[in-house]
Chains A and B, each alone.
Chain A
Amino acid sequence: GAGVSQSPRYKVAKRGQDVALRCDPISGHVSLFWYQQALGQGPEFLTYFQNEAQLDKSGLPSDRFFAERPEGSVSTLKIQRTQQEDSAVYLCASSLVGLGSNSPLHFGNGTRLTVT
């Protein structure tokens, strides 16, 4: 079946613009995660949803970052008033079941955001 799909693949934004990044998880996957990967680094956790509930947003770097998953499926990561330090690859991942499981995360190919 289809994997995790992210759009757009590439996004260039001028500093101060708002952006919205979309994630379509694998159908039926309960858990959805957003990660940020800076150049030469490993992915860093941003936020976690179980179905439509955002259970952990401790990794969001500022209040300019907002994520939602209103129907427990597609998720959107929104960044307001983008800054150059927001330039990174944003990865979405989903897993089949929720808390306490060893179900591995399935990652999308990411959205590369460049803020100029």
Chain B
Amino acid sequence: DQQVKQNSPSLSVQEGRISILNCDYTNSMFDYFLWYKKYPAEGPTFLISISSIKDKNEDGRFTVFLNKSAKHLSLHIVPSQPGDSAVYFCAARFAGGTSYGKLTFGQGTILTVHP
């Protein structure tokens, strides 16, 4: 039962253009959403997050949009740079219980930005 889904395994974008990575979730108990970026042989690094009470959060070239009614979030990277090439994971935090803070991850999307 995949509660967080990233349906696009890969995305290829030209340098300078917009990259849009998508994520869908099923559990309405998720209260916080995060994007992590991962380079080969390294652990995931935190990129940007959004609370379920907001619909947009922006940090430099990165913007995350949340559509709660559709249970959908997206990460926009503008402009895309070759150094952005990595695997991007969407993650959701489950509210309540004794692991407030444990994350459920999607399968990841490989982003390739071509010079």
Contact = CB atoms under 8 A, between A and B. Distances in A.
Partners in one complex: yes
Interface of A: 4, 31, 33, 35, 40-45, 48, 55-56, 58-59, 91, 93, 95, 98-102, 104-110
A105 B42 CA distance: 14
B100 A109 contact: no
A95 B106 contact: no
A19 to B, nearest CB: 19
Nearest to A4: B43
Contact of A45 (B6, B42, B98, B102): B102
Given A102-B49, A104-B46, A45 B104 contact: yes
Nearest to B38: A107
B107 interface: yes
Given A35-B105, A59-B102, A105-B103, 6 more contacts: A31-B101, A42-B89, A93-B43, A99-B98, A105-B46, A107-B45
Interface in B67-115: 89, 91, 97-108
B51 interface: yes
A101 B101 contact: yes
Determine which residue in B34, B91, B100 has the highest number of CB atoms from chain A within 10 A of its CB, and name it. Answer: B100
B51 A100 contact: no
23 contacts: A33-B101, A35-B105, A41-B107, A42-B4, A42-B6, A42-B105, A42-B106, A43-B89, A45-B102, A45-B103, A56-B102, A59-B102, A91-B44, A93-B43, A98-B101, A99-B98, A100-B100, A104-B46, A105-B103, A106-B46, A107-B43, A108-B43, A109-B41
B62 interface: no
Contacts of A99: 98, 100-101
A56 B97 contact: yes
A111 B91 CA distance: 21
B34 A104 contact: yes
